[in-house]
Amino acid sequence: MENLKEYIQSNSQRFLDELFGLIRIPSISSESKHKDDMVTTAQYIVDQLLKAGVDKAEIMPTTGHPVVYAEKIIDAAKPTILVYGHYDVMPVDPLNLWDSPPFEPEIRDGKIFARGAVDDKGQLFMQVKAFEYLVSSGQLQFNVKWMIEGEEEMGSPALAKWLPGHKELLKADLILVSDTSMIAINIPSITVGLRGLAYMEVEVTGPDKDLHSGLYGGAVANPANILARMIASLHDENNHITIPGFYDDVLELSPEERADMARAPFNLDEYKKKLDIKTTLCETGYTVNECTGIRPTLDVNGMWSGYTGEGSKTVLPSSAFAKISMRLVPHQDPHTIAALFARHFESIAPEYVKVKVTEHHGGYPYVAPTNTAAFRAASKAYETTFGIKPVPTRSGGSIPIISTFEQVLGIKSILMGFGLDTDAAHSPNENYHLECFFKGIETITWFYKYYERELKDQNV
């Protein structure tokens, strides 16, 4: 591994050029107009993987956007690592808040600014480049399979359906994923918990058409006002969610576990300053890290009704809409929660409106063990490149497919992410530190090395 740093350094410009080519394709999975871009992106990944040294790579159709599958089998008797990543990205609106066009990557202040820079094109590319180094230097000691999907930002609906028919193809000892964050650029961490997700869309309808607010206002229930009232009632004064049964399956952590979590470095003043907020708003009785890590939440992700253009329009809208998602923790079941939400939302609808509730994708929460060869190997790899032991953390985010992998394929994942909370994933001006990108390639390479040793030690 003595020439690893040198290899990265001497190839750094090529790595970035190749990554930028990937980023430039606007692969927004949730917008149907980008359907062709998804295929173009998948083909780009195929080409990159072939260049990096896989034996074969192909675009496999699914019920939605295609999956890229690739493999390098060095010896059927050796253990297999299945690398998972996603080539799709989030929508980019509001576009006017971007300082540079989202699909024209630009380096400023040592960071790559672009949609997908960190989530997940940049992180996926670290995996490709670590693999490339191991292959080209003749040090690869694992069979490596690749499963790169195009619907992660939609909750991986097609991949979830595709998995059961490809269990044999995907057989592996471990799934390796780079799609999460670290605590800070100098405080590495390994994500050992992910929240689940239930995502709902609601429509509240009053009169059958938009009305003149002067002629009808005061007598006809306004669905925007009613929706506001219904949303407001979903939390109580302790910011506790009021849906009956919502907390029934929530795993309550022991005082010891909570004390352990509280040792993770956290500066509330910096947190507030970074977000430009005066105070946080947590569930009573829980800290910020607990509220984003071990407690379920309910957030409006979108809301719209009536006239939203320039100036004024005196309309009493016919309908009001909201996208509302809930982050879930072990052992909440997203389908159970979605059903509880729907039943509750319908039950609180007053008789002067009609309510329609639909369910978008969901996902189960996930917990990873820390007493495994993979965790120990990852921990050593971070320590080697960052100089300090990584902290095991529970992320507030969701990668629903990770728990599906466990359920369907029976394989655990190791989440080696190198993003930062400040990367603005899902937001305008998404960015990725070049330092994280290059250190990530190094760390992943070390992981292969240490994982090999850990497995050997286990078998002694």
Q: Give residues 384-423 in contact with a second copy (rule: CB under 8 A).
A: 395-398, 421
Which 73-102 positions form the footprint of a second copy (CB under 8 A)? 90-91, 93-94, 97
Site for a second copy contains 109 (CB under 8 A): no
Please say which residue, 85 or 419, places its beta carbon nearer to a second copy: 419
Residues 346-365 that bind a second copy (CB under 8 A): 350-353, 360-361
**Interface pick for a second copy out of 156, 178, 297, 379 (rule CB under 8 A):** 297
Q: Which residues does residue 201 pair with via DSSP β-bridges, in sequence order?
A: 323, 358
Q: How far is the CB of 342 from a second copy (least distance, A)?
A: 16
**85 and 380 Cβ atoms separated by less than 8 Å:** no
Segment lying near a second copy (by CB under 8 A), choices 5-13, 74-82, 135-143, 195-203: 195-203
Tokens 């007053």 sit on residue? 350
Task: Pick the binder of a second copy from 232, 263, 284, 371 (CB under 8 A).
Answer: 232
Distance CA 437, CA 418 (A): 7
Contact with a second copy (CB under 8 A): which of 215, 251, 259, 388? 215
- CB-nearer residue toward a second copy: 83 or 230: 230
Q: How many CB atoms lie within 10 A of CB 438?
A: 20
Q: How far is the CB of 402 from a second copy (least distance, A)?
A: 13
Q: How far is CA 419 from the centre of its chain?
A: 11
Token pair for 427: 């937001």
- Tokens representing residue 206 in the block: 């009053």
**Span of 19-27, 61-69, 310-318, 441-449 interacting with a second copy by CB under 8 A:** 310-318
- Compute the least distance from the CB of residue 313 to a second copy, in Å: 6
Report the residue number, 53 or 91, with the smaller CB distance to a second copy: 91
The answer to whether residue 371 forms part of the interface with a second copy (CB under 8 A) is: no
By CB atoms closer than 10 A (0-12, 13-18, 19+), residue 88 is buried
Q: How many residues bind a second copy (CB under 8 A)?
A: 101
Closest among 44, 74, 78 to 59, alpha carbons compared? 44
- Of the candidates 227, 206, 228, the one whose C-alpha atom is nearest the C-alpha of residue 217 is 206
Nearest-angstrom CA–CA distance, 404 and 138: 34
Q: Which is nearer to a second copy, 104 or 421 (CB)?
A: 421
Contact call for residues 296 and 329 (beta carbons, < 8 A): yes
225 interacts with a second copy by CB under 8 A: yes
Q: Is residue 315 part of the contact set for a second copy (CB under 8 A)? A: yes
Among positions 222, 385, 404, 445, the unique one binding a second copy when judged by CB under 8 A: 222
Instruction: For residue 276, state whether it binds a second copy (rule: CB under 8 A).
Output: yes
Alpha helices for 137-219 (secondary structure H): 157-162, 213-216
Task: Report the DSSP beta bridge partners of residue 83.
Answer: 146, 176
Of residues 136-165, those binding a second copy (CB under 8 A):
153-155
Minimal distance, residue 397 CB to a second copy, in Å: 3
Beta bridge partners of 394: 193
The CA-CA-CA angle for residues 378, 382, 388, to 5°, reads 130
Question: Residue holding tokens 């509750």?
Answer: 344
Amino acid at 325: S
- Contact pick of 166, 171, 235, 343 for a second copy (by CB under 8 A): 235
Instruction: Please report how close the Cβ of residue 369 comes to a second copy at its closest, in angstroms.
Output: 22
Q: How far apart, in Å, are the Cα atoms of 383 and each of 118, 190, 386, 401, 410?
A: 22, 11, 5, 28, 29
Q: With binding defined as CB under 8 A, does residue 209 bind a second copy? A: yes
233 binds a second copy (CB under 8 A): yes
Smaller CB distance to a second copy: residue 143 or 181? 181
